Amino acid sequence: MKNYQVPQNLLRDRVILITGAGQGIGRTAALTFAAHGATVILHGRSVKKLEAVYDEIEAAGHALPAIFPLDLEKAESRDYEALADAIARQLGRLDGILHNAAKVDRPQPLEDQTLEQWLQLLRVNLAAPFALTRACLPLLKAAPDAAILMTSDTHGHVPAAYWGGAAVAKSGVETLVKIWAQELEIYPNLRINAVVPGPVQSPQRARTHPGELKDNLPRAETLMPLYLYLMGQDSHETSGQVIEAVQA
């Protein structure tokens, strides 16, 4: 997939929801998906950041996106259902979800993490992708070709000390993907996979690795051929996979 030749109109006429679209990988994915024909739905907590991405997409002459802010730390089932209903009413379809939003804390021993921290980490990193996918499943099942792409993490893929609740949550994402892929086998038009992005330049990486020289890291744009492949129809036979971007 590293040498995947991306068709320019790969995502034409598709509607794709991107969580955490205001910055980092989510922002890059939103701009890239729009450039390849998609109408993107921008999710995040900061309306100001989402509006900035909206303006970039509009200025580039791509299909106008939609903005749906939602705080994943506080959202309940009815909020996700309301979001899915709003997508159905306003856009009429949904062809893909990129679950990119994440919550991370600086590394610390398990014994120093509180229950409250764990609940927040599990809620944003694991429960939210489950709840949002569940709410949107009727729309995704109705699409001619649909993809769900979740985001794991290096420390969840290979558990490591000091990453605590965030690593456990991301490990859970990988399990969730494998279970859901089996349950969705009866829907040949719908697939679900997870990506482990690896170290890239992003605001979250800067937060967890404050002493690191970001110029030594690849940019988020280097991930996009893989993300496009998994979101587009060329990956229609790929499901239930956890893919490390550095090896793809």
Q: Is residue 121 part of a domain?
A: yes
5 in any annotated domain: no
List pLDDT tens digits, range 198-242: 666 656 655 555 555 556 666 778 899 999 999 999 999 999 999
H-state helical runs in 36-114: 47-59, 77-90
Q: State the chain's mean pLDDT as an integer.
A: 91
| Residue 165 domain flag | yes
Residues near 223 by beta carbon (within 8 Å), at least 6 away in sequence: 25, 28, 195, 197, 200, 245
- For the cut 80, the answer to whether the pLDDT of residue 184 exceeds it is yes
Instruction: Give yes or no for a contact between 87 and 41, defined as CB atoms under 8 angstroms apart.
Output: yes
In a domain, 225, yes or no: yes
Q: Pairing relation of β-strands 15-18 and 66-69?
A: unpaired
Amino acid at 132: L
pLDDT tens digits, residue range 61-84? 999 999 999 999 999 999 999 999
State mean pLDDT over 156-162: 87
Q: Are the C-beta atoms of residues 134 and 187 closer than 8 Å to each other?
A: no
pLDDT digits 0-9 by tens, 92-124: 999 999 999 998 888 889 999 999 999 999 999
Please state the separation of Cα 7 from the chain's center in Å: 21
Inside any domain, residue 147 = yes
Q: State the Cα–Cα distance between residues 1 and 49, nearest whole angstrom.
A: 31
CA distance 146 to 191: 7
- Domain-embedded: residue 3: no
Range of the domain at 131: 15-247
pLDDT over threshold 50, residue 174 = yes
Q: Tell me, what's the pLDDT at 209?
A: 55
- Domain membership of residue 9 (yes or no) is no
248 band by pLDDT with thresholds 50, 70 and 90: very low
Residue 236 in domain: yes
As for how many domains the chain has, the answer is 1
For residue 166, the domain's CATH number is 3.40.50.720
- Provide the whole-model pTM: 0.91
